[in-house]
Chains A and B, each alone.
Chain A
Amino acid sequence: MAGSTILEAKNIYKSFSGVPVLQDVHFEVKAGEVHALMGENGAGKSTLIKIITGVYSKDEGQIEWEGKPVEIRNYQDCQKLGVACIYQELSVIPPLTVAQNVFLGREPRIGPFINYAKMNKMTQELIDRYQFPLKPTTVVDNLGIGQRQLIEILKGLSQNSKLLIMDEPTASLSGKEAEMLFKIIQKLREQGVSIIYISHRLEEVYMLSDRLTILRDGKNAAVLEKEEIIPAKVIETMIGKVVDESAGSRKMLHSDDSAPVALDVKGLTDATDRFRNISFQVHKGEILGFGGLIGAGRTEVVRAIYGIDKAAAGEVTLDGKKLSPSPKASIRAGIGFVPEDRRNQGFIPLLSTTKNVALTNYDIVKKNGLAISDGDELDMSKRAIQAIDIRPSDPDKQVGVMSGGNQQKVVLGKWLMRDLKLLIVDEPTAGIDVGAKDEIYSILEKLASEGVAVIVVTSDLQELLRVSHRILVMRKGDIVREFKNEEVTQSKVLAAGQGVTEEEAK
């Protein structure tokens, strides 16, 4: 099936302000193949794709399309060649019909008027050719996310695209919608369309792809042919054997079961089925790590525990007392929460460090009658600044203009001013420089040593291994594996998150 090379990227180099992100990367897609692209977070997948689609410019290297060198300066250039990118954030317009969306901005016309008959016919032809479960005249409003994604694909195909790039296409799809997509992908391949399939999910890659390129730390780690795509091998290549055996990626877990239970979660179940029947405990002074792929339901579980989203069933108790599901009740009970999306959920950008730190703590800030004691509030913020070295150290500085690391310290800092029993942190170091990362780890460790229970949700395996005393791995809404008092490696965690059995992984 697979024929000649359609796209080839050779010796690609890219660095951001001196930090190399891609080094001598080689990537080749053949006509009519599904070519998967995998790698851990930060391996350089998205940078490579952005170079191919013209979002970033490469520092060095060459891109060839059907054997001829090409320059791709922007997304339009790449569309002209016949490459279409199916955005994760869908760009379909709900009030329009399927056909209107497919031909948006390129509608066939008679004079100034859109020729609907022709447009619908052209759309129907495309639909028939690839057997999509769609009708040209359906208004998109009535369609689910899966079908909307198919419209994006149709849009690409209508421009005679020969190469489709799909970035985590199943991330927000239900099981059935994903199955539908897989069938479509098979049909596209039969029709000679090439697909770059980026995914964290090994089972999908295993099922769909003809070849697999794995990146690690911005370099080519391997290109595997279909028969070589064996879970154990893929995981090993992604993590790197050398890395997995090094000190940082191998850890003996020790958790102290004799310590009293702080948090007890029983049968927690989501209203929209993003997780079900979740039960676990966290002991005082324990750091419990949550591993698994993005979208496995970890963030949703901790949000439900803290009370942002209400669970459909289940019970959460802290120190034996039942928690009512609201952030306010959780805070009063002694829970702190650092959300995943710092910029949009973590802090108030226009306000100062002082006011951000004090925001959750007005129950303990001194007051004279109704008036907040400014002195006490400032005192609290100074304590926070000193305790975790927030820079700039000016308590009146607007948090919005600080660096990511310091913003995160402000978000974290406000919880340190309270008597915490449990701290939940979700992706605590995303987008933060190395120095600040270490500082945040030591804050978490210090809290645990003081007897606070800590839950860390992270997709960074290195981080997970480094901070956790015990690890739970989630997959598709269930807890699938617990690592406890045993030796754990990045590969083992990754395998569990991927649903690969230990035997296969060995």
Chain B
Amino acid sequence: MKKMNQTTMRRLISVGMLAVLVILFTILAGAGKGNFLHFDNLIEIVRDASIPAIIGVGVTFIIITAGIDLSTGSAMALVGMVMANIYEYTLWPFKVMVLCGILVGILCGLINGIIVAKLHVPEFIGTLATMSVYRALTYIIAIKDANGVIQSEPMTHSQYVWLGYGIGKFYYLIMVMLVVVVIGQIILRYTRYGTNLYSVGASKKAATLSGINVERVQMVAYIFTGFTVAIGAIFTTARLQSATTAIGTNFEFNPIAAAVVGGVALSGGSGDVIGTLIGALFMATLENGVRKLDMNTSYQYIIKGIIIIAVVIFDAVYKSRIDKAAKEQGAKEGLE
């Protein structure tokens, strides 16, 4: 007897959710120019999905190890503000500035990793705390005028402005996102580290017994997330052409939501980066559609929250049924 693979099944569900949403908005918000199903608008959706998807790759790694990161939004703001400072107060070349941004992102990830893996602070508490630490640091280093009032300093580096565009409608951001997603998927599926991530998430005990260094696997996941956060911050500031203290407020919700919708179980050990990309597209489509329908954009917060709870409940129920079925099947089948 042939059963459908769980992963394939779950993928079909998230693709189905996305398809239903697209069809729904096409019916409600039309297909012509300026409407929902127009090429320009679709590209816009992909562009909006890109930053949650990029950071979502890192967050997916963390969630696969049964962890979580609530600090991505604040870390993004901090990275942006460090770069703004370099832009404002130094004559360092563009590349050095970006490099420093990436280093700060990695450092934020490293700190999260140490708190979670070495100090054994529960993930959501530790990263909730660094969320407020990174945000506070952003305020502390924010560029102020003589009276101490925070200034939003424009960053108009020519190369920087260039990053916000693309080849025609194909924004560089979308290209980078695709590259990060592909690399993330390859790491997950085709390297030893990827296998280790799943092992740690499924059972830390079993992973240790198999000779996997659990702490190191967790650390690397957080550091990698810091790296994706930095990329997100670079493109966000490039698009805004400035860094503000408000960047990434409530952002941490987005990559996690994308991962959850895309089938990355928060209990760890399942899901992949492609799923997260689908989830990010779903969320961006939702936001876009709500806008096109001239609905109060506040509704999207409600809808997002409900969708997450619904998906999580579905996954919990589905998983317990699968486990039960496997047990019964095993008991019946025996040798043949």
Contacts and interface: CB of A to CB of B under 8 A. Distances in A.
B22 interface: no
B191 A114 contact: yes
Interface in A149-208: 174, 176-177, 179-180, 183
A96 B212 CA distance: 15
Interface string B206-245: 1101111000000000000000000000000000000000
A94 B319 CA distance: 12
Nearest to B193: A112
Contact of A114 (B192, B201, B206, B328): B192
Nearest to A178: B334
Contacts of A179: 334-335
Contacts of B198: 93, 95-96
B95 interface: no
B333 A100 contact: no
Interface string A102-116: 001101010011101
Given A93-B269, A96-B198, A105-B210, A147 B192 contact: no
Given A107-B195, A113-B191, A145-B327, A93 B206 contact: yes
B334 A146 contact: yes
B335 A96 contact: no
B330 A145 contact: yes
A95 B192 contact: no
Contacts of A92: 206
A486 interface: no
Contact of A105 (B6, B202, B212, B322): B212
Nearest to B6: A141
Given A87-B209, A109-B192, A177-B334, A143 B199 contact: no
A91 interface: yes
Nearest to A112: B191
B335 A93 contact: no
Given A114-B191, A114-B195, A139-B6, A144 B202 contact: no
A15 interface: no
Contacts of B205: 89, 91
A180 B195 contact: no
Contacts of A105: 192, 196, 210-212
B332 interface: yes
Nearest to B200: A93
Contact of A144 (B190, B207, B333): B333
A179 B332 CA distance: 12
Contact of A91 (B5, B203, B328, B333): B203
Given A91-B206, A139-B7, A104 B195 contact: yes
B326 A174 contact: no
A334 B270 CA distance: 47
Contacts of A87: 209
Nearest to B196: A105
B265 to A, nearest CB: 9
A124 to B, nearest CB: 18
A423 B42 CA distance: 69
A421 to B, nearest CB: 36
Instruction: Determine the interface band of chain B, counting residues with CB < 8 A from chain A.
Output: 35 or more
Contacts of B7: 139
B331 A174 contact: yes
Nearest to B203: A93
Interface residues of A, number: 35
B3 interface: yes
A144 B191 contact: no
A133 interface: yes
A349 B201 CA distance: 28
Contacts of A89: 205
Contacts of A139: 5-7
Nearest to B191: A112
A89 B202 CA distance: 14
Given A96-B199, A176-B332, A179-B335, A142 B191 contact: no
B207 to A, nearest CB: 7
A145 B207 CA distance: 18
By CB atoms of chain B within 10 A, which of A91, A116, A139, A147 has the most? A91
B326 A141 contact: yes
B10 to A, nearest CB: 11
B315 to A, nearest CB: 13
Given A105-B210, A180-B335, A96 B326 contact: no
B5 A174 contact: no
B329 interface: yes
B330 A143 contact: yes
B68 to A, nearest CB: 18
Contacts of A109: 192
A147 B202 contact: no
Interface in A73-127: 76, 87, 89-96, 100, 104-105, 107, 109, 112-114, 116
Interface in B227-271: 269-270
B145 interface: no
Contact of B326 (A93, A143, A183): A143
A476 to B, nearest CB: 14
A297 B3 CA distance: 33
B195 A96 contact: yes
A183 to B, nearest CB: 6
A94 B327 contact: no
A133 B336 contact: yes
A463 to B, nearest CB: 32
B3 to A, nearest CB: 6
Contacts of B5: 139
A394 B13 CA distance: 59
A107 B192 contact: yes
Contacts of A141: 6, 322, 326
Given A94-B269, A95-B198, A114-B192, A144 B331 contact: yes
A144 B327 contact: yes
Contact of B335 (A113, A142, A176): A176
Pick the most buried of B192, B196, B269, B322: most chain A CB atoms within 10 A of its CB. B192
Contacts of B270: 95
Given A95-B198, A176-B333, A114 B190 contact: yes
Contacts of B6: 139, 141-142
Contacts of A112: 191
9 contacts: A91-B209, A93-B198, A93-B199, A95-B269, A104-B195, A107-B192, A142-B6, A176-B333, A179-B334
Given A116-B190, A144-B331, 11 more contacts: A91-B203, A91-B205, A95-B269, A100-B195, A105-B196, A105-B210, A133-B336, A141-B6, A141-B322, A176-B331, A180-B334
- The 9 A-B pairs of least Cβ separation, nearest first, read A144-B330, A176-B334, A174-B331, A91-B206, A180-B335, A91-B209, A95-B269, A93-B202, A113-B190
